[in-house]
Structure 1
Amino acid sequence: MRIFYTGIFIFLFSLVSFGQSQRDLVDSLRGELPGATSLEDEMTLLSELAWNYVPISIDSAILFGERGVQIGKELGDPILLSQIYSDLAYAYMEKGELPSAKLNYEAALALRYELGDSVKIFGTLTNLGSVYQRAFQSDSAMSNYLQALDFFERNGYDRNADMIRNNIGVIYLEMRNYPKALDILKEVVAYRKENGDDYNLAMTYTNLGSIYKNLKEFDLSEKVYLDALGIFKEYDDVYYTATTYNNLATLYNAQKKSELALQYGLSGLELAEQAGASYDYALLESNLAQSYQDLKDFPRSRAYYLRSIAHFKEQNAEADLASMYLLMAPVYAALGMPDSSAFYTEAYIALNKKLTEQEIEKLSTDLETRYQTEKKDLEIASQKLQIRNRTIQLAGSLILALVLGFLGYLLFAQQRLKNRQLQQEAELKTALAQIETQNKLEEQRLLISRDLHDNIGAQLTFIISAIENLKYFDPIKEQLTPRYDTIAGFTKQTIRELRDTIWAMNAGQITWEQLSGRINDYLMTAKASDSKITFRLIGEEAVEKSLRLDSTTGIQIYRIIQEAIQNAMKYAKATEVQVEITQSADGMVLVVRDNGVGFDESEINAGNGLANMRKRAEELNGNLQIKSIPGEGTEVRLSW
């Protein structure tokens, strides 16, 4: 969903002061460009073109902006150069290339500090705040906004203050503080209506639409979106018309009004391509994919998801890419392509893990930078202290009273410095402890993710096996009904197994009796899935029922058994599977053996199943051996 930040300030031309349509305006400016009589005139025209082309074609806006920067550097006029930097940054921001936008706004800000133009300085600070906001750096954005808001309110720049209030309202929207965001944005709407600022009013309507949508007030959301759409069409603004179509498509998808979502999504797609809005184009494709998925047109849904994935990769939008991977899995499942479904599920898990690790790494880097900066400041303070001591010693022979007074002050300063150092060290230790806690939580999350993957894979194997067996039954209702009931039971079992995983992780410890019960349940489920195979559990009586295992050990043992049995059912063509458990003074031994076809491990491509079993054995500090002879069967032996 596109949220509008209207903190863009331009001081040569007003965003809403259109005497003609946007397209007519840029056509007029382009007509004047070849007749420019000086570099100053040419640069001024390029600046206007860079700004005004954004709603029509962002790529064209960037081309004019880059050309203007080259001329500005040759000309050496800081006023014109700072303006073209600002206009180019605006184009990059609307394209979604935030690092380039930040770089150009910082260049504009440096020149404006040299010029001492306070209005433009705080305007550029606001624009940088918009970049931070779109990069989800809310603290930096709010800091910039509050500095600028204080200046504009004190100096009577009401329109600029209004734009900043809008952006602050959006921050509260992103923080999901909807009541606070609603109060601020309603104040912004009232001001813009009173002052006839229709164009920026449309942007605020769009932000209100996002709030109402999240509050489930869909009728109000639809109304303000359509009001915004009418205004953008009136101004012939291709870019924001496309983004509003996308917002409406998202709203209708949320209401399961798939036909309406398709109508607006397809219209927006054409306009986004025309405007060169690559990121919004990808968002529209994802909305269309969702609409077709809701309509159960899975081939078209898959096509649009694949297109959106390609475009999000081009934009390096990894968070959106992860969402697409997750949404693709059920589409492939519906198309009867379980391998592709599993592929995208694993891709989502891997990318989500990468994003989490990047966030942790960023936090660690920030803490290290802060620590090094404070350490350097402390060294500088220490050097200054040494110089001050020498000065006191030299002056001590002249004025004893002054020396004594100054020494008292010095002792106080030293103690304060020491206290501050101790406080900083304590803060750093606390921060490092928080990072360690986050790492431990991440390890637990990865463990749960792998458990869910393995468990669901086992249950789905049973379901697929049962469905395959239906081929050999005559299509007689009395015979098929029990098979369907069995499939339904396996599906419910999947739910129960997921709950088992969560239970085990929360329980802390489990008894052998509890674990043995779940192994027996699993064997009965396997038997129900394939009646041709005999399953036996041997030796469970010899193990102490009161034996207690930590939840992690219990889950690892259970998953190894599941994976071994699943492999026997899928590949071994076995008629008998035996699970044997023995306990001795040295530890415990688990053996899963079958009388299937066996295999030569050197001649097969080991998949995730074998690798996961070995990984689980390592985490138990145990030993896993897999012995298989072609034609004689397979034996999986775990000792710990």
Structure 2
Amino acid sequence: MLKIYLSTLFCFIVVTFSGHAQSQRELIDSLKTALAKTENLKDEVSVLSELTWNYVPISIDSAIFFGQRGIVQSKKLNDPVILSQMYSDLAYAWMEKGELPEARANYQEALSLRYQVGDSSKIYGTITNLGSVFQRDFQSDSAMSNYLKALDYFERTGNERNADFVRNNIGVIYLEMRNYPRALEILTEVAEYRKSQEDQYSLAMTYTNLGSIHKNMKNYPKAEEVYLEALRIFGEYEDVYYTSTTYNNLATLYNAQKKSQLAISYAKKGLDLAEEAGASYDFALIQSNLARSYYDLGDFVQSRDYYIAALRNFELQDAEDDMASMYLLMSPVYAALNMPDSAAFYTEEYINLNKKLAEQEIQQLTTDLETRYQTEKKDAEIAQQRAQIRNRTIQLGGSLVLALILGVVGYLLYSQQKLKNRQLYQEAELKAALVRIETQNKLQEQRELISRDLHDNIGAQLTFIISAIENLKYFDPIKEQLTQRYDTIANFTKQTITELRDTIWAMNAGQINWEQLSTRMSDYMQRADQSGTSVNFSFFGTESLPKDLRFASSDGIQVYRILQEAVQNAMKHAKAQSIQVQISASDDTIHLMIKDDGRGFDFSEESLGNGLSNMRKRAEILGGQIEIESAIEKGTMVKLSLPRSRSIG
């Protein structure tokens, strides 16, 4: 059994190994000392986070202990950034221990908090980590969906390092699907990138995956070469956990070549390290490898003892697929020991558990088919599949020998068909996703081309006009008569440049979410606040808005212009001392409110100016409504209401 390595280093804690000036254990000791000397809660949580992360390669149980303590302390700070990081660190420890439900729950908590904070980089890092959990739980379709989301973001933002981690995991999915040529192609590219970055630790993880590919392609010398290189690197970093799993991979390789004694020597080294690291699942895997080695050597007593020990450990972790494998492998061991009753017992256990797993799989398949098609034809197919399984189960119970043969054949055929169906589905999903990404990239290229033309041509010309006007202001003898006129033209041109930049921003965006728009509004308010006026600005953002609401960039610029018009009216005409901007949402409507304490105006005495008319027209374009309330010396309130149906997604 091989250990496949996923890229899970998106927890955003910087750990530096360069130069090996400080070993992992020395770092742990220094962190413990720092923990004892912390003087405030925030420093304590920071050290607990580092301890959780750095303990994983050495002692996963210790990492979980410090992680759980860090969660308790982080909640006292009421800081979502710190708490989300602590959840992410603890999830990493649970995942390496093999406790996938715990890992998923903690990553979900971290993701929810990071959506609140709005840090896109960490959001997509957590999405990647959730993909790793799905992948280890053999949910390749969910894993691939997460990976493609993250890869699109990291490539768009130029984050090549994180994109590399995602590509590695996609390569591992192809490895699990047994598409070895495609997996080899992707992971070889990943290895070359990590070499160029001198990222030895991540390179070692890629080597283990490449070793698995070469092993399955029967290229045993190449597999041994990359495994040994990975072992050397993990040894330099004193990484107990990954060193143990690499020993196990080597043992698996040597078992495949019937080099049983060599396999035993590596497996026993890995067994000691897995126990030291608290890696319960990997400990059981290594025990099963030792059982295989002793069976090949004809030492059936030792083989039986290791199979029994591995089985008990798998039972503790509810690893039913691995338990079924143990039952199947133990039957011939007991047969060789001339213990037919025990052989029959474990054969029956294998049949019963395999039947249970098959029924669970069929039940899930039944649910999916009924949901998608809801037709009698599909119901009939499901009934037929169930009948086939029942018939196969009856046949397996005929005799011990026949049961064993049919059980093995049935299990292999079923697994092969399931794997083939899953592979076809995932490849179709991947192709569709790649087509969508290619289309989005082409659209983005067109937007960037147009925006560059606007910026380079019109923007440059407007800038030249400003420069020329500034120079003419100092040209005698007419500067005194024309200075005010020049200032007016220059200010108008500068305002035009600002609006041009806003248009370029919207065009580049293509689609805009409320988080991006609120950031733009906040920047505008800050610029207004820094303009030298005595106005007090306040902005209440998008905490109550769903994170998935997006809309066309053309709509976004209309909303932005309404905000600008209202703020400028409050500053220039109303002489306001305080301006408040707030965004909120109800079940079917999104509200933008701009409120000032200026001198106001009376609708009955004043005609509707161009600014107010423009705001109403923009609201009509958006399919929304705008309300303007004002009274003399009581300020003005502008409230824009937009239907949520205007949003995309």
Sort the TM-score into its range (normalised by shorter chain). 0.5 to 0.7
Give the match for residue 398 of structure 2: 451
**Could you tell me which of 75, 81, 84 is aligned with 1:82?**
84
**Which aligned pairs between 1:201-280 and structure 2 lie closer than 5 A?**
201-280=203-282
Cα distance, 1:251–1:26 mapped onto 2, change above 3 Å = same
How many angstroms does 1:223 deviate by?
Answer: 0.5
Q: Distance between the aligned counterparts of 1:204 and 1:7, measured in 2?
A: 12
Contact 2:252–2:289 (8 Å) recurs in 1: yes
Q: Distance between the aligned counterparts of 2:239 and 2:15, measured in 1?
A: 15
Contact 1:8–1:126 (8 Å) recurs in 2: no
How many angstroms does 1:19 deviate by?
Answer: 5.2
Give the match for residue 35 of structure 1: 37
Q: Distance between the aligned counterparts of 2:38 and 2:343, measured in 1?
A: 59
Contact 1:209–1:221 (8 Å) recurs in 2: yes
Partner letter of residue 205 of structure 1? Answer: Y
Q: Distance between the aligned counterparts of 2:105 and 2:353, measured in 1?
A: 28
How many angstroms does 1:72 deviate by?
Answer: 1.1
Q: TM-score, normalised by structure 1?
A: 0.61
Contact 1:16–1:200 (8 Å) recurs in 2: no
Listed one character per residue, the Cα deviations across residues 571-619 of structure 1 (whole Å, up to 9, x for unaligned) are xxxxxxxxxxxxxxxxxxxxxxxxxxxxxxxxxxxxxxxxxxxxxxxxx
Q: Distance between the aligned counterparts of 2:379 and 2:82, measured in 1?
A: 47
Task: Describe the SS at the equivalent of 1:3.
Answer: coil
How many angstroms does 1:10 deviate by?
Answer: 2.0
Listed one character per residue, the Cα deviations across residues 162-208 of structure 1 (whole Å, up to 9, x for unaligned) are 00000000000000000000000000000000110000100000000
Q: Distance between the aligned counterparts of 2:80 and 2:73, measured in 1?
A: 12
Cα distance, 1:273–1:427 mapped onto 2, change above 3 Å = same
Partner letter of residue 10 of structure 2? Answer: F
**Could you tell me which of 286, 289, 292 is aligned with 2:288?**
286
How many angstroms does 1:441 deviate by?
Answer: 2.1
**Which stretches in structure 2 are left out of the alignment for 5+ residues?**
410-649
Partner letter of residue 309 of structure 1? Answer: L
Cα distance, 1:10–1:210 mapped onto 2, change above 3 Å = same
Q: TM-score, normalised by structure 2?
A: 0.61
Q: Distance between the aligned counterparts of 1:238 and 1:68, measured in 2?
A: 23
Give the match for residue 56 of structure 1: 58
How many angstroms does 1:427 deviate by?
Answer: 5.3
How many angstroms does 1:436 deviate by?
Answer: 2.1
Matched, 1:11 2:6: no
**Could you tell me which of 350, 355, 358 is aligned with 2:357?**
355
Listed one character per residue, the Cα deviations across residues 270-311 of structure 1 (whole Å, up to 9, x for unaligned) are 111000010110011111111111000111111111111111
Give the match for residue 382 of structure 2: 435
Task: Describe the SS at the equivalent of 2:8.
Answer: coil
**Which aligned pairs between 1:378-527 and structure 2 lie closer than 5 A?**
426=373, 428-429=375-376, 431-453=378-400
Q: Distance between the aligned counterparts of 2:130 and 2:402, measured in 1?
A: 48
Q: Distance between the aligned counterparts of 1:430 and 1:106, measured in 2?
A: 38
Q: Distance between the aligned counterparts of 2:379 and 2:206, measured in 1?
A: 41
Matched, 1:177 2:179: yes
Give the match for residue 110 of structure 2: 108
Identity %: 62
How many angstroms does 1:130 deviate by?
Answer: 0.1
Matched, 1:159 2:106: no
Listed one character per residue, the Cα deviations across residues 216-245 of structure 1 (whole Å, up to 9, x for unaligned) are 111111110000000000000000000000
Contact 1:233–1:241 (8 Å) recurs in 2: yes
Listed one character per residue, the Cα deviations across residues 14-51 of structure 1 (whole Å, up to 9, x for unaligned) are 47667522111111111100111111110011011111
How many angstroms does 1:452 deviate by?
Answer: 4.9
Listed one character per residue, the Cα deviations across residues 389-427 of structure 1 (whole Å, up to 9, x for unaligned) are xxxxxxxxxxxxxxxxxxxxxxxxxxxxxxxxxxx6x45
**Could you tell me which of 87, 90, 93 is aligned with 1:91?**
93
**Which aligned pairs between 1:294-309 and structure 2 lie closer than 5 A?**
294-309=296-311
Cα distance, 1:181–1:454 mapped onto 2, change above 3 Å = closer
Q: Distance between the aligned counterparts of 1:29 and 1:124, measured in 2?
A: 25
Matched, 1:330 2:300: no
Contact 2:397–2:403 (8 Å) recurs in 1: no
Q: Distance between the aligned counterparts of 2:17 and 2:185, measured in 1?
A: 24
Partner letter of residue 78 of structure 1? Answer: P
Report how many aligned residue pairs link the two structures. 405
Partner letter of residue 442 of structure 1? Answer: I
Partner letter of residue 256 of structure 1? Answer: K
Task: Describe the SS at the equivalent of 1:451.
Answer: coil
CA RMSD after TM alignment = 1.9
Cα distance, 1:428–1:144 mapped onto 2, change above 3 Å = farther
**Could you tell me which of 136, 139, 144 is aligned with 1:137?**
139
Q: Distance between the aligned counterparts of 1:8 and 1:367, measured in 2?
A: 37
Q: Distance between the aligned counterparts of 1:156 and 1:15, measured in 2?
A: 23
Q: Distance between the aligned counterparts of 1:214 and 1:116, measured in 2?
A: 43
Listed one character per residue, the Cα deviations across residues 125-156 of structure 1 (whole Å, up to 9, x for unaligned) are 00000000000000000000000001001111
Q: Distance between the aligned counterparts of 1:95 and 1:431, measured in 2?
A: 40
**Which stretches in structure 1 are left out of the alignment for 5+ residues?**
372-423, 458-493, 499-640
Q: Distance between the aligned counterparts of 2:359 and 2:383, measured in 1?
A: 13
